[in-house]
A and B are shown apart, each in its own frame.
Chain A
Amino acid sequence: MAIQILMPALSPTMEEGTLAKWLVKEGDVVKSGDILAEIETDKATMEFEAVDEGTIGKLLVAEGTQGVKVNTPIATLAGEGEEAGDAAQPEAAAAAPAADGPLAQKGKGENSRDETGEAPDRAPAAAKSAVESVATPEPDASPDWPEGTPVRQMTVREALREAMAEEMERDEAVFLMGEEVGEYQGAYKISQGLLDRFGPRRVVDTPITEHGFAGIGVGAAFGGLKPIVEFMTFNFAMQAIDHIINSAAKTLYMSGGQMGCQIVFRGPNGAAARVAAQHSQDYAAWYAAIPGLKVVQPYTAADAKGLLKTAIRDPNPVIFLENEILYGRSFDVPVLDDFTVPFGKAKIARPGKDVTIVSFGIGMAHALEAAETLAQDGIEAEVIDLRTVRPIDYAAILASVQKTNRCVTVEEGFPVGSIGNHLSAWLMENAFDWLDAPVINCAGKDVPMPYAANLEKLALITAADVVEAVRKVTYR
């Protein structure tokens, strides 16, 4: 029984080609790997090799023929008896349903791709972003800790350290790695004392090689550990961003759910003081753009602690963006054995009725200061702290905007492609009829961070910027 040799697709985009030259003639005996013909694709001239052994029967397409469609029979091959049923025969439609496979098969879709090359319509009508599903129609306004719980003042730095120490006590698979986290006691003293407490097996000093140690951290997570990878600052994580995004964030999907990556990447993010452009950048919007990552940017010490504990327990890669300016600030932290804050739950940091100010991280300092100023003029701003920018608590924003009919966003990052831009678009789609004014985004200026003190001040957002934006949207 003759095998038909088909016009091959020799590039991802090839639909037809020219059969430039036959290198065999009828009656030739060929084996696997012998070149049969030269074929011009849309990209190059390629040699086309035999897969099966046999004798060339008829050459069905003459050399020099242009526009030969992929999968057209171009020759016949008389194979040995055992090869007669080979799959090189032209494709009839797929026959019986698949037998039980080595892997679980869920559902049976229409098998249309063989013939048409077209993928079926994949997107459900009401396509939701992967993280949007976290949002619920009713915002969760429950307090972060029960009323009457004692609190104590603690710096953000202490809160982060306590969170790591508690989780390392709780779970042997959790360890910390990064530059100067051990013997130096932390470049910003976040990990102070952890080496003494947990030893060098679990507090691992690395060389200054972000690309390499981020990859090793991700590999360790694949291997079942729960690494906390500290970047001395997130500016340096750009050397490691391939592993954060391509290796950590995408592998669960690419593996069909087999291979998760439980890892926290944390460190200071955003502008520090007088360190210029390479050491002053807010990456919240960058990481928030990536499905597969979760992105946290706390403002208070309580959130720093509760969210970091949640991050360490989360089975997904989490980007935990801290802020050097905030490390030394003190806030109330509840005295509880195991205090955690869920992802995707915004907090109303200050209630109000006239305008909604949405912010996160150090932007909250400007937002709250502005709200104080505005209150003196009789404008009651409601300030929402997102706390996590992936997932985002859209329900909380929507509920507030439905009340105030106005929204201003505040963040330190660059203005193009910012979180504020995204929220503006989201509100336009989901709350257009509720808005009495355009949403205004307050962000850092569209310039690299300058060193000179006066210029640096001009580049950063201020409470005054927020006040001005609120006056615009309230027409006051």
Chain B
Amino acid sequence: MARKPAAASQADATSPAPTNIPRDELLKLYRDMLLIRRFEEKAGQLYGMGLIGGFCHLYIGQEAVVVGLEAAAKEGDKRITSYRDHGHMLAAGMEARGVMAELTGRIGGYSKGKGGSMHMFSREKHFYGGHGIVGAQVPLGAGLAFADKYLGNDNVTFTYFGDGAANQGQVYETYNMAELWSLPVVFVIENNQYAMGTSVKRSTKSTTFYGRGEAFGIPGEQVDGMDVLAVKAAGEKAVAHCRAGNGPYILEMMTYRYRGHSMSDPAKYRTREEVQKMRDEKDAIEHVRQILVSGGHASDDDLKAIDKDIKDIVNDSADFARESPEPPPEELWTDIYAEANA
């Protein structure tokens, strides 16, 4: 299917989207992306009602990145990201209820309400946060990969960061060591073109982030991050590189966030038309919907049933997140130190 590139530099993309994807797989990709979209819309709504406080960074528009890469992962692989993390958690299989209840600061949240939107974790789902300091997750992700290599397994760590973090010094310290020690880490740059309100072009003269690993010997490629099939294909290639012991790999995902940087972003740094154009022409979910319909894989009723199912999950999570109690006062003093057991 012919698709317009997400940005001018998109022409560099090297992993074309495959065709002939099985129906079940397409449906799962569609469903997983739709869950994130609807979850985030609901989170935005709850924020507007004052049920979610502080910072709340929505992932709407970027869903294809995490869903495509999760489709390339196996059990045991790890993932770590920044504070725009709700989509990553849902894609990793974490429960919508636990995520939403963390957003509302309730005991039923993944961090018992003590982490909030930006700080959630699940050892069970190998999700290592949820980090609030821009760029900090990059060496942390390499450290997770260091542990896997040390332990001698073949797990890979997906380390997500944005185009803003890509200008952080610690990213390049990490590139250097990750290649030096052949760490099995996929660096995923989610280039949504704006670091808060500063566009890539206003941040750097070196705008092709995937090429910045070259100085350290790390291969990289740019991917249409609005095309979940292209993302999956690129992810499989990167993961194979890492699992084979060849060290890290960089994927620059050309993507776009429809909403503001956080809920309190008046979005004066880009035009309404630019956002609308991306929504109309590049939307990742609509893309898969069209494939499903035009390929005869799914009827309108099939898709409506999925929509309904997703809406139920999201509404259930919102109900749970409102009804779950706040953490009891004693929780203020727990989880500061782990018990010594030696």
Contacts and interface: CB of A to CB of B under 8 A. Distances in A.
A211 B173 contact: yes
A363 B103 CA distance: 47
A234 interface: no
Given A9-B49, A216-B174, A315 B341 contact: yes
Interface stretch (B15-23, B240-248, B264-272): B264-272
Given A101-B108, A258-B123, A247 B174 contact: no
Q: What's the interface size class on A, roughly?
A: 35 or more
B311 A82 contact: yes
Secondary structure at the A interface, as helix, strand, loop or mixed, is: loop
Interface stretch (B24-32, B249-257, B314-322): B314-322
Given A46-B266, A109-B327, A254 B114 contact: yes
A143 interface: no
Given A87-B42, A105-B324, A257-B112, A6 B48 contact: yes
A316 B339 CA distance: 8
Contacts, number: 293
A10 B263 contact: yes
A255 interface: yes
Contacts of B292: none
Interface centre among B50, B266, B272 (most CB of A within 10 A): B50
A46 to B, nearest CB: 5
Contact of B150 (A108, A119, A175, A252): A175
Contact of A111 (B49, B169, B323): B323
B206 interface: no
Interface centre among B110, B111, B138 (most CB of A within 10 A): B111
Contact of B258 (A33, A86, A110, A262): A33
Contact of A255 (B95, B111, B177, B311): B111
Given A109-B328, A255-B120, A47 B323 contact: no
A448 interface: no
A141 interface: no
Interface in B166-221: 169-170, 173-174, 176-177, 180-181
A12 B103 CA distance: 13
Interface in A79-98: 82-83, 85-88, 91, 94-98
A44 interface: yes
A103 B148 CA distance: 27
Contacts of A292: 336-337
A139 to B, nearest CB: 20
Contacts of A44: 264, 266, 268
A110 B107 CA distance: 12
A119 B336 CA distance: 21
B112 A51 contact: no
B173 A209 contact: yes
Contacts of A87: 42, 45-46, 315, 318-319
Contacts of A9: 47-50
Contact of A219 (B41, B144, B329): B144
Interface string B92-130: 000101100100010111111111000111110000111
A214 B140 CA distance: 9
Contact of B41 (A32, A105, A106, A243): A32
B323 A253 contact: no
B334 interface: yes
B143 A219 contact: yes
A124 interface: yes
Interface stretch (A221-229, A265-273, A397-405, A406-414): A221-229
A207 B338 contact: no
A10 B264 contact: yes
Nearest to B98: A102
Contact of A88 (B45, B101, B142): B45
Contacts of B329: 109, 120-124
Nearest to B61: A33
B279 interface: yes
Contacts of B95: 101-103
Nearest to B180: A207
Contacts of B98: 101-103
A294 B336 CA distance: 11
B126 to A, nearest CB: 10
Contacts of B53: 12
Interface of B: 41-42, 44-51, 53-55, 78, 80, 95, 97-98, 101, 105, 107-115, 119-123, 128-133, 136, 138-148, 150-151, 169-170, 173-174, 176-177, 180-181, 258, 263-264, 266-268, 272, 279, 308, 311, 315, 318-320, 322-330, 332-342
Given A220-B146, A255-B121, 7 more contacts: A106-B107, A120-B326, A121-B329, A215-B136, A225-B147, A256-B115, A257-B112
13 contacts: A35-B272, A43-B264, A107-B330, A121-B329, A122-B329, A207-B176, A209-B176, A213-B177, A215-B138, A216-B139, A251-B121, A259-B128, A313-B342
The 8 closest A-B pairs by CB, nearest first: A219-B143, A215-B139, A223-B147, A212-B173, A8-B48, A102-B95, A256-B112, A11-B264
Interface of A: 6, 8-12, 14, 32-33, 35, 41, 43-47, 49, 51, 70-71, 82-83, 85-88, 91, 94-99, 101-103, 105-114, 117, 119-124, 128, 130-131, 175, 201, 204, 206-207, 209, 211-225, 242-243, 246-247, 251-260, 262, 291-292, 294, 310, 313-316, 340
